[in-house]
Amino acid sequence: MEKQKQKFLLLLISGVILIIIGISLVIFKREISIEILRTLQTAQETAAVISAYNQRNLFLHMIQMFCFGSGGFLTVFGAIGILKKK
Q: What is the mean pLDDT of the chain?
A: 88
Per residue in 35-76, pLDDT tens? 877 888 888 988 888 898 899 889 999 999 999 999 999 999
Q: Which of 10, 19, 15 has its CA nearest to residue 82? A: 10
Tell me whether residue 82 is exposed, middle or buried, using C-beta atoms within 10 angstroms of its C-beta: 0 to 12, 13 to 18, 19 or more: middle
Number of domains, the chain? 1
Domain that holds residue 51: 2-85
pTM of the model: 0.78
**Is a pLDDT exceeding 80 seen at residue 7?**
yes
